[in-house]
Amino acid sequence: MLTNAKVRSAKGRERPYKLADGGGLTLLVNPDGSRWWRLRYRYGGREKMLSLGVYPDVSLALAREKRGEARTLLARGVDPSSERKAKKVADADTFKAIAEEWLDSGCPGKRTKSRLKVGTIKQLRHRLKTYVYPYHGSSPIKEITTTAFHTTLKRLVAKDLFETAARVRAISSRVFRYAIATGRAEADPAAALIDALPRAETRHFAAITDPGEIGKLLRAIDGYDGQPATRAALRLAPYVFVRPSELRLAEWTEIDLDASEWRIPAERTKMSREHFVPLSRQAVEILYELMPHTGHRRFVFPGIRDPKGRPLSENTLNAALRRLDYTNDQMVAHGFRTMASTRLNELGFDPDLIEVQLAHMDKDRVRAIYNRAEYIEKRRAMMQSWADYLDSLKAGASVTAIGQGR
């Protein structure tokens, strides 16, 4: 019988040697000092050998436990080596294993001639990791039923995450189809659910996302000759990409220009929690320019007809865009959020950073990462890089990447 002290003190010699513990369990000590657990047993009249791991990762107690498990299998007439191989095959055919293989191979099946952008793949992986793996990741993919997968999607519907549920269903369906194509599944349980999920009433916000057209829009905004508050709000919108209501209702007490940050209180946000907006150098300059005009008021962007008591009306920014000859089908105030989301993802930024900055994340995700110091600093860097990128487009540069903040 071996002891922990004897196993711990076993040193390499000129040739490999074994230390026996009984019941077929031995410790193979190699000349380089590595120690491997081996189990010798007989099955079907033949002597066989099974590796049980490396010491100290596998302790003496754990090696004995593994020996006991192997003996139990032998008593049932099962070959431990064959059982292990079968388990490896089963593990390789789990939803998570196949999904990761699909992601690593560039998500084949997408109608594109080239590999998807890194940021897009990261976003797909994030959704699977957050919403599917906890429930189906370890399940053999061919055993996942439509009913079971429907239950998973209904968890999102219950939280009013209708769009997320639809996206998760579509992504998962592609994983199932990949499994079918590679011979590891026979059906796509997510396909049957395409019409089974309730849809929220959707609003489609017109947005400009083409880099060249973004540059034209920014130049047009710089040429806007309306009221100072309206012009400043329009100039600031692409740099901060908050919701239009959050922008027009901004108060000077929420903004710290010295710290280059804006904290929107929970009662004014859609998600009912404080939203932190790092202010880029460009955003701070816009606000400093506006301060002589409205710095003595409550609202950063006071209304045109009642500058002392009310903020800009909800139609002011859209009306300003119409004055710049952008129709309602081309660009609306809310479209600056779509512009930022689309371009930042295409530019390869961390999807978590983008979603947090858009205040899209569900409460569980935000609770885990929202206030981490390193996340705050990464968001600051992203917002400054985004502002520099916009300025490059405004200057007419053909910019397709950002060198900072990714």
Catalytic residue among 66, 127, 243, 248: 243
Q: If we measure between CA atoms, which residue out of 316, 333, 381 comes closest to residue 353?
A: 381
Q: Give 29's strand partners.
A: 17, 35
Residue 230 near residue 237, CB atoms below 8 Å: no
Cα–Cα dist 347/401, whole Å: 6
DSSP characters over 379-404: HHHHHHHHHHHHHHHHTT------SS
Q: Is 111 a catalytic residue?
A: no
Q: Distances in Å between the alpha carbon of 32 and those of 3, 19, 38, 51, 322?
A: 21, 16, 17, 18, 76
Give me 126's structure tokens: 């994030």
| DSSP-based three-state secondary structure for 112 | coil
| DSSP-based three-state secondary structure for 27 | strand
272: left (phi over 0), alpha (psi -120 to 50) or beta: left
Q: Is 13 a catalytic residue?
A: no
Q: Is 326 a catalytic residue?
A: no
Angle at 40 between CA 36 and CA 44, to 5 degrees: 145
Over its C-alpha atoms, the chain yields an Rg (Å, rounded) of 30
What are the backbone dihedrals phi and psi of residue 120, each rounded to the nearest 5 degrees, phi first? -65, -45
Catalytic residue among 64, 66, 334, 378: 334
Q: Is 177 a catalytic residue?
A: no
Give the residue ranges of DSSP H helices in 241-300: 244-248, 281-294
Q: If we measure between CA atoms, which residue out of 222, 205, 190, 232 comes closest to residue 391?
A: 222
Catalytic residue among 125, 127, 337, 394: 337
Cα–Cα dist 354/200, whole Å: 23
Q: Is 337 a catalytic residue?
A: yes
Which amino acid belongs to residue 106?
A: G
Catalytic residue among 131, 178, 370, 389: 370
Q: Are strands 46-55 and 255-256 parallel, antiparallel or unpaired?
A: unpaired
Q: If we measure between CA atoms, which residue out of 194, 186, 187 comes closest to residue 150?
A: 194
Catalytic residue among 18, 270, 363, 367: 270
What are the backbone dihedrals phi and psi of residue 352, each rounded to the nearest 5 degrees, phi first? -65, -40
Q: Is 84 a catalytic residue?
A: no
Q: If we measure between CA atoms, which residue out of 208, 236, 212 comes closest to residue 331?
A: 208
**Residue 119 neighbours by CB distance under 10 Å:** 18
Just list the catalytic residues: 243, 270, 334, 337, 360, 370
